[in-house]
Amino acid sequence: MFEKYPSWLNALRERTIALFNRYSLPRWIVFTMDTVSVFVIFIFAYLLRYNFTPAEISFDILMVHGLIVTAVYSIFSLVFQSYTGLIRHTTLTDISLIFVVTSVSAVTMVLLNLVSRFFNPGVYLVIPLSVILIHYVAITVFLFFIRIFIKVLFRFAIHYEKNKKRVLIYGAGEMGFVVKRVLMSDPRGDFNVVGFIDNSRRLQGKNINGLPVYSPAILSADKVQKNNIQTIIIAINKISASRKSELIRKAMSLDLEVLDTPSVDKWLNGQLQVGQIRKVKLEDLLNRDPIKLNMEQIGKGLNNKTILVTGAAGSIGSEIVRQLARFNIKMVILADQAETPMFNLDNELRREFGNLIFKPIIADVTNLRKMELIFKEFRPDVVFHAAAYKHVPIMEENVHEALRVNVGGTKVVAELSVKYDVKKFVMISSDKSVNPTSVMGASKRICEMLLQSIGEKPGVKTQFVVTRFGNVLGSNGSVVPIFRNQIADGGPVTVTHPDIMRYFMTIPEACELVLEAGFMGKGNQIYVFDMGEPVKITRLAEQMIKLSGFEPGKDIQIVYTGLRPGEKLCEELHTDKEETLPTYHPKIHLAQVEKFDPKVLLKQIDILIKNVYLLSKNDVLELFREIVPEYKAEVSSER
């Protein structure tokens, strides 16, 4: 590194960095410097032409010729704006502009010379062609040289700074060049770009902008260590999710810091900023390609409709609202009992979605009178029911609330939807409803059965749709924000069991599929989302620790705390007795659930809800098991 250079060179570097940090020459100063250079170089060209013999030169004529040449060059400099670029970031474009200005100016001077000779106006307007040629070459070389010198000096100042991270940019295309230029232009940045990586064999082994282009084979333990590579930045316009995930995992296995470049449409004012180059997100490791939606079908189902979203201030509910803002809806009603999250959502929608007409309402879905006021006033056409208690350990200790809110709230909203002729009712269920071992999962399964039972009643026109999927990254109470906070606190990161696994989706992905499934088929159906492969939570914790710049087991410890009440090692998306059928969307499957007697079920649910606080905890659990035979629960000692 830079320690091998003498102290005076170190001092020069430090002073140069300070100078570049403090000063950025205004354009008028650059223009003035170029103009003065044109005049001075012309004097030099004149003297050179006459062998530096003052006796042969008329200084009056010299001054007039110098002013004429300077005026011509200044005019074309203003026309082509060759003075506008930052000298320390001189590019090929800047050099080309200088060449254009000097060439056009020289041609103009030759034409003026010929015209002057033809009309014979006098020696004051006839500039020797030899002087014009010498001046053209000299001023072009000088302006080139001064800009390149300052750029090289600037790069010299920042390139060898101590503690710079040695960086490889993955992608030697246009975006890769932009990233390299942005990083090299930051004198106090943390990065020293040492090369590119590209899959193109045509580029491998070549030097671009003075930097070598490597094949992906350089991402091996010995080569990374040999070249002291510390960071890799992904700079590719179009890269598949699977390829990106594979690249990130490979880099992380080599203990490299992995940074990502935002897409061009997200650059600030069309310009990439250093601050936009950030660490990759956990979502990038899911290996899931973007979802293709049937926008025409969804748009038709939502066009000019009034939409009610329950649990609107929650993770899923709020994202559904954001997705709805893409369509031509009449109004969206936001119902949630959480005041502060609703306040935050209200502010976000006003700021980000100015054209969206919405109404935030503080309401409890179990309050029949309040919910009926909402239905009576706004007459929603579509309902997205996301309101629910979902935290497994908490619901194990509060079975009556799981019954009252999850089952009772769903019953209230569903029956009001039928009464007020709602066309479509879409409920957010959970993979925990499959072979449930928790109160929360059992309550969600009862909700699924409840909607199917109501939908089968004679004369019911409302189409009931259930969407069943697993965990979503970053939702309130999920492991991701918990792990993130634990890592920020220095650890340890707590995992319940070494072998525990979960399905994961991003919140936007899950909500896009909810919209798609909501307008698929004729209703009274349960749709199961393709969640990909289950993810080991221990692996997830390790990846989050690495993405945060730490080493698992060394900087941040992982501690196993034991399975919590109601928790499974691995969730399921359908039971052994259920089958799933494909739909036109590859990520959505139709569940063929077991048959049951709707009339008996509705009576059982009525008994549960009407006597919710009269029943003991064990009574509720027994009735849950009666309704959902596959539910496995331990009998509690509490009454």
- In this structure, what token pair is assigned to residue 290? 């973007």
Mean pLDDT of the chain: 81
**pLDDT tens digit string along 81-140?**
766 655 555 566 677 778 888 888 888 888 877 777 666 655 556 677 888 888 888 888
Please check whether residue 410 is in contact with residue 449, taking contact to mean a CB–CB distance below 8 angstroms: no
Q: Residue 639: what pLDDT? A: 43
Q: Residue 86: what pLDDT? A: 52
How confident is residue 286, by pLDDT bands cut at 50, 70 and 90?
A: low
Helices (H), 569-616: 598-610
Please check whether residue 198 is in contact with residue 204, taking contact to mean a CB–CB distance below 8 angstroms: yes
CA 554/CA 552 separation, integer angstroms = 5
CATH code for the part of the protein at 163-280: 3.40.50.720
As a whole number, mean pLDDT of residues 30-45 equals 82
Question: How much of the chain is helix, strand and coil, in % rounded to 5?
Answer: 50, 15, 35
- In this structure, what token pair is assigned to residue 237? 């316009």
SS3 206: coil
φ/ψ of 42, rounded to 5, equals -65, -45
- In this structure, what token pair is assigned to residue 540? 């997830």
CATH 3.20.20.150 fits 301-472+505-531+572-627, yes or no: no
Beta bridge partners of 279: 259
CA 511/CA 431 separation, integer angstroms = 15
Of the candidates 307, 326, 319, 328, the residue with the CA atom closest to the CA atom of residue 423: 307
Q: Which residue, chain included where needed, has tokens 């003297």? A: 47
SS3 228: coil
Q: Is the pLDDT of residue 444 over 90?
A: yes
**pLDDT tens digit string along 240-278?**
777 888 888 888 888 888 888 776 655 655 556 565 677
Residue count (the chain): 639
* Max CA separation in the chain (angstroms): 120
Range from 321-330, 386-395, 538-547 carrying the lowest mean pLDDT: 538-547
Where is 331: in which H helix or E strand? strand 331-336
Q: Give the strand pairing for 588-592 and 525-529.
A: antiparallel
CA 264 to chain centre: 12
**Comparing 163-280 with 301-472+505-531+572-627, is the CATH topology the same?**
yes
Sheet architecture: strand order including 463-468? 358-362, 331-336, 306-310, 382-385, 424-428, 463-468, 525-529, 588-592, 579-582
- In this structure, what token pair is assigned to residue 456? 């089968």
* In the chain, domain spans: 2-158, 163-280, 301-472+505-531+572-627
CA 27/CA 25 separation, integer angstroms = 6
**pLDDT tens digit string along 471-527?**
777 666 677 778 888 888 888 999 988 888 887 777 888 888 888 888 887 778 888
Q: Residue 102: what pLDDT? A: 82
Q: Is the pLDDT of residue 422 over 70?
A: yes
Counting beta carbons within 10 angstroms of the beta carbon of residue 48, is it exposed (0 to 12), middle (13 to 18) or buried (19 or more)? middle
- In this structure, what token pair is assigned to residue 617? 């905890």
Percent of the chain's residues with pLDDT above 90: 23
